[in-house]
Amino acid sequence: MTLMDAVFTKAEWDLLPEGFPAELIEGTLVREPSPTYGHQCVAARLRARLFGVVGPDLCPDTPADVFLDEINIFEPDLVVLRERPAMDTPYVGIPLLVIEVLSPSAARRDRTVKKDKLLEAGVEEVWLVDRRTRSIEIHRSGPDVRSFRAEETASSRALPGFEVVPLALFAE
Protein backbone atom coordinates (compact mmCIF):
# COMPACT_ATOMS: atom_id res chain seq x y z
CA MET A 1 0.00 0.00 0.00
CA THR A 2 1.27 3.47 -0.88
CA LEU A 3 -0.05 6.55 0.89
CA MET A 4 0.53 10.05 -0.44
CA ASP A 5 0.96 12.90 2.08
CA ALA A 6 -0.77 15.60 0.02
CA VAL A 7 -4.42 16.31 0.77
CA PHE A 8 -6.26 15.36 -2.38
CA THR A 9 -9.70 16.54 -3.44
CA LYS A 10 -12.02 15.65 -6.29
CA ALA A 11 -10.35 18.37 -8.38
CA GLU A 12 -6.96 16.62 -8.16
CA TRP A 13 -8.60 13.22 -8.57
CA ASP A 14 -10.12 14.33 -11.88
CA LEU A 15 -6.59 15.11 -13.17
CA LEU A 16 -5.34 11.55 -12.63
CA PRO A 17 -4.96 9.39 -15.75
CA GLU A 18 -7.87 7.12 -16.60
CA GLY A 19 -7.56 3.77 -14.84
CA PHE A 20 -5.19 5.04 -12.14
CA PRO A 21 -5.41 2.30 -9.46
CA ALA A 22 -6.26 4.21 -6.30
CA GLU A 23 -9.01 5.48 -4.04
CA LEU A 24 -9.49 8.84 -2.35
CA ILE A 25 -10.21 8.20 1.34
CA GLU A 26 -10.60 11.14 3.69
CA GLY A 27 -8.41 13.28 1.41
CA THR A 28 -5.66 10.67 1.16
CA LEU A 29 -4.76 9.03 -2.11
CA VAL A 30 -4.53 5.30 -1.33
CA ARG A 31 -3.05 2.80 -3.77
CA GLU A 32 -3.32 -0.89 -2.95
CA PRO A 33 -1.41 -3.76 -4.55
CA SER A 34 -3.28 -5.79 -7.16
CA PRO A 35 -5.68 -8.33 -5.64
CA THR A 36 -4.68 -11.98 -5.37
CA TYR A 37 -6.12 -14.67 -7.60
CA GLY A 38 -8.29 -15.91 -4.71
CA HIS A 39 -9.67 -12.40 -4.17
CA GLN A 40 -10.50 -12.04 -7.86
CA CYS A 41 -12.03 -15.53 -8.01
CA VAL A 42 -14.41 -14.79 -5.11
CA ALA A 43 -15.31 -11.42 -6.66
CA ALA A 44 -16.01 -13.11 -10.02
CA ARG A 45 -18.29 -15.68 -8.36
CA LEU A 46 -20.21 -12.89 -6.66
CA ARG A 47 -20.45 -10.87 -9.88
CA ALA A 48 -21.85 -13.93 -11.72
CA ARG A 49 -24.57 -14.26 -9.08
CA LEU A 50 -25.33 -10.55 -9.30
CA PHE A 51 -25.61 -10.77 -13.10
CA GLY A 52 -28.30 -13.39 -12.61
CA VAL A 53 -30.34 -10.91 -10.56
CA VAL A 54 -29.68 -7.50 -12.18
CA GLY A 55 -27.73 -8.15 -15.38
CA PRO A 56 -24.46 -6.50 -16.43
CA ASP A 57 -25.76 -2.93 -16.86
CA LEU A 58 -26.40 -2.48 -13.15
CA CYS A 59 -23.32 -4.43 -12.03
CA PRO A 60 -20.45 -2.92 -14.05
CA ASP A 61 -16.93 -4.25 -14.12
CA THR A 62 -14.76 -2.53 -11.59
CA PRO A 63 -13.03 -0.30 -10.85
CA ALA A 64 -16.07 1.97 -10.85
CA ASP A 65 -15.65 5.34 -9.16
CA VAL A 66 -18.17 6.02 -6.39
CA PHE A 67 -18.08 9.75 -5.63
CA LEU A 68 -19.21 10.42 -2.05
CA ASP A 69 -17.86 13.92 -1.45
CA GLU A 70 -14.88 16.15 -2.29
CA ILE A 71 -12.43 13.98 -0.32
CA ASN A 72 -13.92 10.49 -0.72
CA ILE A 73 -14.03 8.59 -4.01
CA PHE A 74 -14.11 4.83 -3.55
CA GLU A 75 -13.58 1.92 -5.94
CA PRO A 76 -15.37 -1.01 -4.31
CA ASP A 77 -14.82 -4.56 -5.53
CA LEU A 78 -18.46 -4.84 -6.66
CA VAL A 79 -21.33 -2.38 -6.96
CA VAL A 80 -24.98 -2.75 -7.85
CA LEU A 81 -26.33 0.50 -9.25
CA ARG A 82 -29.79 1.92 -8.69
CA GLU A 83 -29.99 3.01 -12.32
CA ARG A 84 -27.80 2.96 -15.37
CA PRO A 85 -25.65 6.12 -15.58
CA ALA A 86 -24.78 7.98 -18.78
CA MET A 87 -22.21 6.05 -20.81
CA ASP A 88 -19.50 8.73 -20.58
CA THR A 89 -19.80 9.58 -16.89
CA PRO A 90 -16.73 8.85 -14.76
CA TYR A 91 -18.85 8.31 -11.62
CA VAL A 92 -21.55 5.69 -11.10
CA GLY A 93 -23.62 7.46 -8.43
CA ILE A 94 -24.47 6.10 -5.00
CA PRO A 95 -24.92 2.33 -5.39
CA LEU A 96 -27.75 0.30 -3.96
CA LEU A 97 -25.33 -2.39 -2.79
CA VAL A 98 -21.54 -2.50 -2.34
CA ILE A 99 -19.45 -5.63 -1.82
CA GLU A 100 -15.87 -5.56 -0.57
CA VAL A 101 -13.83 -8.75 -0.64
CA LEU A 102 -11.48 -8.11 2.25
CA SER A 103 -7.73 -8.23 1.73
CA PRO A 104 -5.11 -7.97 4.49
CA SER A 105 -3.88 -4.52 3.44
CA ALA A 106 -7.33 -2.91 3.20
CA ALA A 107 -9.58 -4.86 5.60
CA ARG A 108 -9.32 -2.40 8.47
CA ARG A 109 -10.20 0.57 6.24
CA ASP A 110 -13.01 -1.39 4.53
CA ARG A 111 -14.51 -2.35 7.92
CA THR A 112 -14.42 1.18 9.32
CA VAL A 113 -14.22 4.38 7.33
CA LYS A 114 -15.29 2.99 3.94
CA LYS A 115 -18.27 1.01 5.27
CA ASP A 116 -19.41 3.92 7.43
CA LYS A 117 -19.04 6.52 4.67
CA LEU A 118 -20.90 4.33 2.15
CA LEU A 119 -23.82 3.77 4.52
CA GLU A 120 -23.94 7.49 5.45
CA ALA A 121 -24.05 8.36 1.73
CA GLY A 122 -27.15 6.20 1.22
CA VAL A 123 -25.85 2.79 0.15
CA GLU A 124 -28.50 0.38 1.46
CA GLU A 125 -26.18 -2.55 2.13
CA VAL A 126 -22.44 -3.07 2.41
CA TRP A 127 -21.31 -6.70 2.26
CA LEU A 128 -17.90 -7.52 3.70
CA VAL A 129 -16.70 -10.85 2.38
CA ASP A 130 -13.84 -12.31 4.41
CA ARG A 131 -11.87 -15.11 2.75
CA ARG A 132 -9.77 -15.62 5.89
CA THR A 133 -12.77 -16.42 8.14
CA ARG A 134 -14.93 -17.69 5.26
CA SER A 135 -17.74 -15.39 6.33
CA ILE A 136 -20.01 -12.69 4.96
CA GLU A 137 -21.14 -9.67 6.97
CA ILE A 138 -24.10 -7.62 5.79
CA HIS A 139 -24.14 -4.06 7.13
CA ARG A 140 -27.11 -1.72 6.89
CA SER A 141 -27.57 1.74 8.39
CA GLY A 142 -27.57 1.94 12.16
CA PRO A 143 -26.35 -1.00 14.23
CA ASP A 144 -27.88 -3.49 11.77
CA VAL A 145 -25.24 -6.12 10.97
CA ARG A 146 -25.56 -9.85 10.36
CA SER A 147 -22.83 -12.42 9.89
CA PHE A 148 -23.08 -15.64 7.89
CA ARG A 149 -20.81 -18.72 7.81
CA ALA A 150 -20.77 -22.25 6.40
CA GLU A 151 -24.21 -23.25 5.09
CA GLU A 152 -26.10 -20.18 6.33
CA THR A 153 -27.67 -18.24 3.47
CA ALA A 154 -26.76 -14.55 3.26
CA SER A 155 -29.74 -12.78 1.66
CA SER A 156 -29.94 -9.19 0.53
CA ARG A 157 -32.87 -7.05 1.63
CA ALA A 158 -31.80 -4.30 -0.77
CA LEU A 159 -31.65 -6.68 -3.75
CA PRO A 160 -34.31 -9.40 -3.46
CA GLY A 161 -33.19 -12.63 -5.05
CA PHE A 162 -29.49 -12.12 -4.31
CA GLU A 163 -28.38 -14.89 -1.96
CA VAL A 164 -24.99 -16.41 -1.21
CA VAL A 165 -23.97 -19.45 0.83
CA PRO A 166 -20.42 -18.95 2.17
CA LEU A 167 -19.55 -22.66 1.90
CA ALA A 168 -20.21 -22.57 -1.87
CA LEU A 169 -18.62 -19.13 -2.36
CA PHE A 170 -15.32 -20.14 -0.76
CA ALA A 171 -15.11 -23.65 -2.24
CA GLU A 172 -11.62 -24.44 -3.53
Is the CB of residue 12 less than 8 Å from the CB of residue 20? no
Give the structural domain span for 161.
35-62+76-169
- Is 171 in a helix, a strand, or coil? coil
**pLDDT (tens digit, 9 = 90+) per residue, 110-159?**
999 999 999 999 999 999 999 999 999 999 988 889 999 999 999 999 99
Report the C-alpha gap between 100 and 113 in whole angstroms.
Answer: 13
User: What pLDDT does residue 6 have?
Assistant: 63
User: What pLDDT does residue 142 have?
Assistant: 82
- % of the chain at pLDDT higher than 70: 97
User: Which amino acid makes up residue 50?
Assistant: L
Is residue 44 included in any domain, yes or no? yes
Phi, psi of 103 (to 5 degrees): -125, 155
Going by C-alpha positions, the residue among 92, 70, 75, 64 that lies closest to residue 10 is 70
Is residue 143 included in any domain, yes or no? yes
CATH number at residue 53: 3.90.1570.10
**pLDDT (tens digit, 9 = 90+) per residue, 2-32?**
555 568 899 999 999 988 889 999 999 998 8
pLDDT at 1 over 70: no
Is residue 124 included in any domain, yes or no? yes
* The total number of structural domains that make up the chain: 1
Compare 88 and 161 and report the one with higher pLDDT.
161
- The strand pair at 97-101 and 125-130 is best described as parallel
pLDDT at 98 over 90: yes
Report the C-alpha gap between 4 and 49 in whole angstroms.
Answer: 36
